[in-house]
Structure 1
Amino acid sequence: MSNRPLAAAGRLVPLLRAGLIAGIVLAALAYPVAAATGIGAKVTAHALEHKTKILTSALPAETSYLYAPDGKTVLTMFYEEYRQYTKLSDISPNMQQAIVAAEDSRFYQHRGVDPKGVARAFVANARSSGVSQGASTLTMQYVRMALRDSARTPKEVQEATQQTSLRKIREMRMALDLEKELSKEQILERYLNSAYFGHRAYGIYAASEIFFSKPPKDLTPVEAATLAGLVKSPSEYDPASSDQKDATARRNYVLDRMAQLGYLSPDDAARAKREPIRLKLTYPPNDCASVPEKWNSWGFACDYLKNWWSAQPAFGDNRLERMDKLRRGGYRIVLSMDPKIQEAAEKNVGTKENTGSPFANGIVVSEPGTGRVKAMAVNRTYSLNLEDNPPSNNPEAGPKVKANYPNTVAPLLGGGDLPGYQAGSTFKMFPMLAALDSGMTLNTTFNAPYRYRSEVYDGWAPSNASGAMSGVQTMWSGFGKSVNTYFVWLEEQVGADKAVRLAEQLGLRWRTDVDREHASPAKAKKWGAFTLGVSDATPLEMATAYGAVAADGRYCEAIPVQAIFNRDGTPTTYRTASGIEREVAKPRCRQVVSADAARAATDAARCPTGDTPARGGCGGWSTADSVRGTVGRPVAGKTGTTDSTRSAWFVGYTPELAAASFIADPDNPFNAVGDGQSQIPINAVAQTLRDALKGKPTREFNPPSDAIVG
């Protein structure tokens, strides 16, 4: 008996099966809900319609850009998928034609699903007993990409990418619905902005920049065909590989298809196929470590921007959501840094202590009345490469732990998770300000002994730095000479807890267990040493707190930006608890103490700097009397040192700027700076203020009233 009829029947079975499946698909086009139900779909028609509506408004993840204050100079980018959304009118027709030729030649004829393509694919796959052809249209591919990009749970990711008949039917149904909502041009635009081209290039703008260093509107037919060929398999057809054989073959296939569809003449296609693939690769920067070398110190401001961003409820409910927004939201962020002030800050810390020193000398400059950070500089190189750093000199650190110099990305200036440094007598501002705001006067007098035994603080007996500080003091002289016993007594009068709470209102945070315990409501009343600055603080906090005094008691949260724009160019906003819509980049200010109290505190704070107060006398000498002469205009401030001068500080301000500088060993707080270097932060602040304000009109401080002078 012959087997030929059986063999023929065997060859027909796959074709019959293919025809049957194609018939089901065609039925799905006419009755999509019924077809989906017939294969066991659990998703209701209503749910699919809802998802389709979401896709009509959904946009793919987009790169966020960080700009210098000019709003033009790109410092770095933030992205998980490097992408910049580009309108179809800004994409070369060559690219539009190439992607249609490569992926869906009947794109302009079908309604989202191509019945001929589906049938052809099923027949080809049946004959090969595998998957040799796909049937996805550009619209279906876009649906798949959009579902993947919008997925927020592992289940949604699985549903968007799993290789099942259910997923395919769902894509078909949604593609049909999508084409009722969007034009072919809108779908093509979204597809070209969603597709992955390899080398971390998501979307045509990124692909054009990365492979050819040009905008997509300038792509030639050869370049467009090369990029269009990548979508099918970015790694297999990678033109940047050492062997361009596969990439060239795929490009030539696309050029042939463009000729067949009438997009290119046969002669132009043949000529284009003879051209080699000429790449001009660009590797886009990502994150703060990619800030250009000439802007290296701005890396610390960039890092602060990220920490600030992660704490803003406007960008999500938690840190992960907020950082995801930064890397996917397509924001345009303009830093508040002032290049002139930043240059002055860099110069005046870099010349005081070199990058190879274990002692960090840093400075932060902020703007009173807005809280905007104008400069952040420290004698370190912003770099992730710690290989050449010496071992840490902290005896508690392990032998493999590296020191944070000369390279580091640690937030040494504030805004991160480091606790900071003991700020010494700069904290005397807080009990003085609390006392003035409670009704005490600048002429509040106390005969301050060398050593003072405090009954309020259970017999604690601090002393002054020298016997010359003893005697009758007022707030002017006590602050100017930094008389410990006067300020412990003053803190007793107003209550240490009130000084602590005021410091919190001015932006200070307690980051160590010891500080949190002392600052707690149960113990703050007994925290007598608070006025001597035993708590850790950062220069960012201190510049902002003193900036509130300069702004007549109006505290403004520290903010590293002057503008943030959404991907559509509108300012980024959030809604306050009271329902008011506000721009995220706008200053957030509140009156913390009365204007008169702040003006009185400033009058006393002119004494440490060698300046002349408006209403009183400083009592002869001061702790930083060179500052007024250096700055050359009205200036206030306060020095601060800790036990054994383990750290030294100076916080100074004019009506326009507030600056805080410190010197300490961030790796080992027990490594004393020494008295000989306590002048370094004084000079850093004075010289930075001088250079930053050069050429600007001199402004006077507002004097306090007669009532608060006393």
Structure 2
Amino acid sequence: MSYRPLSALGHCVPLLRAGLIAGIILAAVAYPIVAAAGIGAKVGAEFSEHRADLLRASLPAETSYVYAADGKTVLTMFYEEYRQYTKLKDIAPSMQQAMVAAEDSRFYQHRGVDPKGVVRAFVANSQSGGVSQGASTITMQYVRMALRDSATTPQEVQEATAQTSLRKVREMRLALDVEKQMSKEDILERYLNSAYFGHRAYGIYAAAQIFFSKKPKDLTPVESATLAGLVKSPSEYDPVTSDQQEALGRRNYVLERMGQLGYLSPEAAAQARTEPLRIDQSDPRNDCASIPQQHNSLGFACDYLKNWWSSQSAFGENRLERIDELRRGGYRIVLSIDPKIQEAAEKNIDAEGSTGSPFAHGLVVTEPGTGRVKAMAVNRKYSLDTSENPPTSNPEADPKVKANYPNTVAPLLGGGTLPGYQAGSTFKMFPMLAALDAGMPLSTSFNAPHRYRSEVYNGWSPSNASGAMSGTQTMWSGFGKSVNTYFVWLEEKVGADRAVRLAEQLGLRWRTDVDRDHASPEKAKTWGAFTLGVSDATPLELANAYGAIAADGRYCEAIPVLSITNRDGTPATYRTAGGLEREVAKPRCRQVVDAGAAQAATDAARCPTGDTPARGGCGGWSTADSVRGTVGRPVAGKTGTTDSTRSAWFVGYTPELAAASFISDPDNPFNAVGDGQSQRPIDAVAGTLRDALKGQPSRDFTPPPDRLVG
């Protein structure tokens, strides 16, 4: 019997020890100087280091949204963590109450650290021999998430999440300081927007959407309790893939606590606990491949947006940083694709061939004077699933490679890494424009033979497509009939290097080793075949280059957006080399050639389309004389075919729009499309311009100045 008091005392020893430890921790928190020698000194230094960033800029990563041109239709999203920041006023009160009940019932009483909670946790953990309870308040959890979200190195992430006493004490000290700087409402708002609920749902907006397909303001108390219960262990209490009994039990615990805290009446809490778990799950779209099926063709425009974004210095130092910013920055992006023009492009591409053809047939429309991309259409489905694609048509390709039809995400229309397709005689525009810019008039004539030997280009001897092209030609007739020997001669006069540099100024890029070699400063002067379009180009490049001519020589960089807005509602901006701040989504234009030279080039470019130039004559026939009748208004342009008609092109423009269409086999450039298909790009461009401009008043081109007529 005499041993019983000692035994009872022995049972109290763990509790006394726990209380002593808790007291030490509380002392370290309340009186930092006590811990200055050792852990306190280290924590104090780190505290000073992190405090300013935490309090000033601890907003978490947010989802970026991509909208159609109407600014309302959501096409897709970009995110690493699906999250949309939501103000507390737009979150159901029951959700706020449920989170407090689940995670920190004394949230409104303590000042960042809950002494009672610390003691309770130490006692419980000491008795259990493990970690059965935590002492983290909502404020401390917010501090941890804010440090994690603001981390820029793996070491900082490790320090923010490591299970160490140092991290815990630092969180306590930061929590005390946060409570001095921010209201309880601000802390709860940021916590609700930072918490992870599972299924890639970061923050309450994503959680409400993913688990209940609704907005946070519309959550019921039962739904709020379900979500609040997830934060402790999203995988263990997952109501979708885990044991629903666990999720149900956790939800009912939160409802019970809400009743105990007075957020629900005892009757309402009891009734709520009898309800079954009801989940209305949705899977939020992410990236270009998840664009809805009815807008599938916009996947190619979305892909171009990503490639364009990755080249913009406003969003980071390199491609990886910029894409990361797209996925975390919370931007609101409105595409420049015009629904009417896109519909016209799709209709005219679909009318010319099915998705099951090895020949890709695509079309891009841009806006002269802004460079904005108005349509991107191709006879392909934008999809990552290539299982239904046939083997590649290229016998030299890896047998594991699949052809890019009918499904592909390859940037067939431009803006990516693919070099494009040989563009044929569409390149005749560049030496002609260079000659006009140098002051040579449209009437510049040459008796062009069927075959021409060039001494400038080391005896190279190109020929015309037919003997009917021989004879005296001017820029009007030479361009209208696409006379090779005339343009080789003209290129000699102005200099091939000048034509190459002008093409670069109009946005063309050389993506193959062969093209880069020929375009180099050392060799460009001897690149005689440049005028015949032996270089690769994309429809995006050619539409935009010809669009600059339609805009009287004013070139605007191709741009896929109408607007880009930061998460705070302000326009996204960048700084120019001169230090000026400009909006990223605004057109970036510069005068590349004299306006009169561009007007003169347009006058000659009316000849291929069957249109009538303002000042000269086309010589009786042209290569695409059906275009003017189809479009029904003034139109200019140029056809292009390569050797054996391996690819065929047409680029056409009015004062309002410029369009480029091609047909080629991207898998096997030696697979000739044949002369019988060369009309398809012509018809696609003509039909698209007609349909896109229907109902708009007809505008004429500005006639060329007298000095360039001759």
TM-score (normalised: structure 2): 0.98
Residues 476-526 of structure 1: CA distance to partner in whole angstroms, max 9, x if unpaired? Answer: 111111111111111111111111111111000000000011111111111
- Are 1:423 and 1:640, in contact at CA under 8 Å, matched by a contact in 2? yes
The 2-side partners of 1:78 and 1:455 are apart by: 56
Letter in 2 for 1:653: Y
Residues 553-582 of structure 1: CA distance to partner in whole angstroms, max 9, x if unpaired? Answer: 000000000011111221111111111111
Deviation at 1:25, TM superposition (A): 1.7
Aligned residue for 1:648?
Answer: 648
Aligned residue for 2:548?
Answer: 548
Deviation at 1:673, TM superposition (A): 0.5
Change (3 A) 1:270 1:618: same
The 2-side partners of 1:34 and 1:509 are apart by: 66
The 2-side partners of 1:433 and 1:486 are apart by: 14
Aligned residue for 2:681?
Answer: 681
The 1-side partners of 2:635 and 2:683 are apart by: 13
Residues 392-447 of structure 1: CA distance to partner in whole angstroms, max 9, x if unpaired? Answer: 01112111211000111110000011000000000010111111111111111111
Change (3 A) 1:703 1:98: same
The 2-side partners of 1:152 and 1:2 are apart by: 63
- Are 1:197 and 1:227, in contact at CA under 8 Å, matched by a contact in 2? yes
Residue 227 (structure 1) aligned with residue 227 (structure 2): yes
- Are 1:194 and 1:203, in contact at CA under 8 Å, matched by a contact in 2? yes
Residues 296-320 of structure 1: CA distance to partner in whole angstroms, max 9, x if unpaired? Answer: 1011101111111111101000111
The 2-side partners of 1:533 and 1:569 are apart by: 46
Letter in 2 for 1:266: P
The 2-side partners of 1:604 and 1:454 are apart by: 24
Aligned residue for 1:469?
Answer: 469
Letter in 2 for 1:435: A
Residue 54 (structure 1) aligned with residue 53 (structure 2): yes
Deviation at 1:35, TM superposition (A): 2.6
Q: Which moved more, 1:71-80 or 1:570-579?
A: 570-579
Aligned residue for 1:598?
Answer: 598
Residue aligned with 1:136, SS: coil
- Are 2:428 and 2:533, in contact at CA under 8 Å, matched by a contact in 1? yes
The 1-side partners of 2:443 and 2:649 are apart by: 27
The 1-side partners of 2:13 and 2:36 are apart by: 25
Deviation at 1:48, TM superposition (A): 1.9
Letter in 2 for 1:112: G
Aligned residue for 1:135?
Answer: 135
Residues 96-140 of structure 1: CA distance to partner in whole angstroms, max 9, x if unpaired? Answer: 111001000110111111111111111111111111110000000
Deviation at 1:41, TM superposition (A): 5.6
Change (3 A) 1:34 1:140: same
Deviation at 1:595, TM superposition (A): 0.3
The 2-side partners of 1:531 and 1:602 are apart by: 17
Aligned residue for 2:484?
Answer: 484
The 2-side partners of 1:33 and 1:199 are apart by: 43
Aligned residue for 2:707?
Answer: 707
Residue aligned with 2:70, SS: coil
Deviation at 1:359, TM superposition (A): 0.3
Q: Which moved more, 1:214-223 or 1:683-692?
A: 214-223
The 1-side partners of 2:32 and 2:614 are apart by: 83
Letter in 1 for 2:53: I
Aligned residue for 1:450?
Answer: 450
Q: How does 1:125-524 map to 2 (within 5 A)?
A: 125-241=125-241, 243-524=243-524
The 2-side partners of 1:394 and 1:192 are apart by: 54
Letter in 1 for 2:54: L
Deviation at 1:34, TM superposition (A): 5.0
Letter in 1 for 2:65: Y
- Are 1:49 and 1:177, in contact at CA under 8 Å, matched by a contact in 2? no
- Are 1:368 and 1:656, in contact at CA under 8 Å, matched by a contact in 2? yes
Deviation at 1:7, TM superposition (A): 5.2
Residues 634-663 of structure 1: CA distance to partner in whole angstroms, max 9, x if unpaired? Answer: 000000000000000000000000000000
The 2-side partners of 1:36 and 1:73 are apart by: 57
- Are 1:41 and 1:166, in contact at CA under 8 Å, matched by a contact in 2? no
Residues 35-92 of structure 1: CA distance to partner in whole angstroms, max 9, x if unpaired? Answer: 36532764553x4234222222321111111101000001111111111110000011
Letter in 1 for 2:643: D
Deviation at 1:20, TM superposition (A): 2.2
Aligned residue for 2:628?
Answer: 628
Q: How does 1:527-538 map to 2 (within 5 A)?
A: 527-538=527-538
Deviation at 1:209, TM superposition (A): 1.1
Residue aligned with 1:39, SS: helix
Letter in 1 for 2:675: D
The 1-side partners of 2:379 and 2:293 are apart by: 15
Residue aligned with 1:650, SS: strand
Deviation at 1:31, TM superposition (A): 2.3
- Are 2:34 and 2:40, in contact at CA under 8 Å, matched by a contact in 1? no
The 1-side partners of 2:431 and 2:438 are apart by: 10
The 1-side partners of 2:701 and 2:606 are apart by: 10
- Are 1:148 and 1:160, in contact at CA under 8 Å, matched by a contact in 2? yes
Deviation at 1:586, TM superposition (A): 0.4
Residue aligned with 1:442, SS: coil
- Are 1:314 and 1:584, in contact at CA under 8 Å, matched by a contact in 2? yes
- Are 2:29 and 2:169, in contact at CA under 8 Å, matched by a contact in 1? no
Residue aligned with 1:206, SS: helix
- Are 1:430 and 1:499, in contact at CA under 8 Å, matched by a contact in 2? yes
The 1-side partners of 2:299 and 2:272 are apart by: 45
Deviation at 1:215, TM superposition (A): 1.0
Letter in 2 for 1:51: H
Aligned residue for 2:68?
Answer: 68
- Are 2:86 and 2:205, in contact at CA under 8 Å, matched by a contact in 1? yes
- Are 2:68 and 2:75, in contact at CA under 8 Å, matched by a contact in 1? yes
Letter in 1 for 2:249: A
Letter in 1 for 2:243: D
- Are 2:43 and 2:166, in contact at CA under 8 Å, matched by a contact in 1? no
Deviation at 1:200, TM superposition (A): 1.1
Q: How does 1:18-97 map to 2 (within 5 A)?
A: 18-32=18-32, 35=35, 38-39=38-39, 42=42, 44-45=44-45, 47-56=46-55, 57-97=57-97
Letter in 1 for 2:51: T
Residue 113 (structure 1) aligned with residue 106 (structure 2): no
The 2-side partners of 1:488 and 1:241 are apart by: 69
Residue aligned with 2:415, SS: coil
Deviation at 1:241, TM superposition (A): 3.1
Residue 102 (structure 1) aligned with residue 114 (structure 2): no
The number of aligned residues is 709
- Are 2:33 and 2:40, in contact at CA under 8 Å, matched by a contact in 1? no
- Are 1:49 and 1:174, in contact at CA under 8 Å, matched by a contact in 2? no
Residue aligned with 2:660, SS: strand
Change (3 A) 1:131 1:11: same
Letter in 2 for 1:462: P
Deviation at 1:4, TM superposition (A): 6.0
Letter in 1 for 2:709: V
Deviation at 1:146, TM superposition (A): 1.0
Deviation at 1:8, TM superposition (A): 5.0
The 1-side partners of 2:651 and 2:185 are apart by: 59
Residue aligned with 1:327, SS: helix
Letter in 1 for 2:52: K
Residue aligned with 1:15, SS: helix
Q: Which moved more, 1:653-662 or 1:253-262?
A: 253-262
Letter in 2 for 1:375: A
- Are 1:380 and 1:406, in contact at CA under 8 Å, matched by a contact in 2? yes
The 1-side partners of 2:557 and 2:462 are apart by: 34
* Unaligned runs of at least 5 residues, structure 1: none
Residue aligned with 2:334, SS: strand
Matched residues, percent identical? 82
- Are 2:550 and 2:598, in contact at CA under 8 Å, matched by a contact in 1? yes
- Are 1:76 and 1:291, in contact at CA under 8 Å, matched by a contact in 2? yes
